[in-house]
Amino acid sequence: MKESDIRPKELTEKLHSFLRKDRKIWLAGQDQFIRVPCPACCGKETKDPIVVRGMTFETCTHCETVFYNPRPTREQLREYYSKAESYEFWANHIFPETESVRRKNIFRPLADKIEEYLSLNGVATDVLMEIGAGFGIFCDEMKGKGIFKRIIAVEPTPDLAQKCREKELEVIEAPFEELDLSVRSIDCIVSFEVIEHVFSPRELIRKSMRLLKKKGLLVIKCPNIKGFHFVVLGKQKAPNFGLEHINMFNTESLTILLEMNGFKVLEMATPGKLDADIVRNQALEGNFDIHVHPFLKQVLIDEWERLGNKFQQFLADNLLSSSMLVVAEKK
Ligand SMILES: [Zn+2]
């Protein structure tokens, strides 16, 4: 899979024009932003503040989570997501045009992996819930497997919730924080590319804890700020750093967050497939000077055909990719 398969250039350019408009809504409320402790370990000491496109990020001295601070309040975030035009564009253009490649390369392998984990750990398969189901591709894949009696897609964005209903999924159109469900009713909760957006990751984890049955599984996929493309390109140049991604964990800090809130981490992996391609593309577009890194130039440009895939696999196998996946069990 290549970066352009899931983020075609033409669509990405249009998306960025919506994001530039959305950023104005976001920054308009700056005078009400509030300071928060580290979203992973609750530490209050920070270092290395950096301003990226008008947004200030700090790094937790203890666990090195990078987070937007001060940040919009819960109410401001809710209002932002209800108004942001970029989501309509995702729902009506990016997801439909990239659905088959996302299904094949991202969601089918994820569904297979989760099926394997459920079986390995003897988890019951009555109810599965996805927080932030988006276009509904993962839930649809799981439905196809026929292992769960009930699958609930939680999706607060109206256009995306509608796409889930079109796939004949059971949809709850509300933010996860506001769900009113009975405790210990769910066997497995999954959440992909959501936790980096929320006001309080701790609340997301704690609410998941309340809803899960004992020994239930929580599976989270999100960016790893210590992954290859973030480290090599730096925060200013890395795509996906900045607006909306307000909590950027690393493999250790996400583990801390889960363990502090009663989960046991069964597996931490970085199955990302795009780091090498992302850095290569930034170099080819002239945004990143790869000539001062002869080794990277050799691997990512000169000998790309021979080494590209192997190098990406090395990153993925050694917790060095920028996309991480954690499987945790409710103790
Ligand atoms: Zn921390």
Domain boundaries, the chain: 3-330
Ligand 1: distance of its center to the CA of 39 in Å?
7
Ligand 1: distance of its center to the CA of 59 in Å?
8
Ligand 1: distance of its center to the CA of 204 in Å?
17
Residues in the chain: 331
Ligand 1: distance of its center to the CA of 95 in Å?
33
Among 199, 283, 278, which Cα is nearest to 240's?
A: 278
DSSP SS3 for 164: helix
Q: Which two tokens stand for residue 251?
A: 């493999």
Preceding omega of 70 cis (within 30 degrees of 0): yes
Q: Beta partners for 221?
A: 192, 325
Mean pLDDT for back-to-back runs of 10 residues, the chain (331 residues): 87 90 90 97 97 94 98 93 87 92 94 96 96 96 97 93 96 90 93 96 96 97 98 93 92 98 97 96 96 98 98 98 98 91
Predicted confidence at residue 154, as pLDDT, reads 97
Ligand 1: distance of its center to the CA of 45 in Å?
8
The DSSP symbol for 71 reads: B
Q: Which two tokens stand for residue 6?
A: 């899931």
193 contacts 292 by C-beta, under 8 angstroms = no
Predicted confidence at residue 39, as pLDDT, reads 98
153 contacts 163 by C-beta, under 8 angstroms = no
Ligand 1: distance of its center to the CA of 206 in Å?
17
Ligand 1: distance of its center to the CA of 46 in Å?
8
The DSSP symbol for 179 reads: -
CATH topology for 3-330 is: Rossmann fold (3.40.50)
Q: Beta partners for 201?
A: none
Distance CA 216, CA 189 (A): 8
Ligand 1: distance of its center to the CA of 253 in Å?
7
Q: Which two tokens stand for residue 41?
A: 């370990």
For residue 6, the surrounding DSSP H or E stretch is: helix 3-6
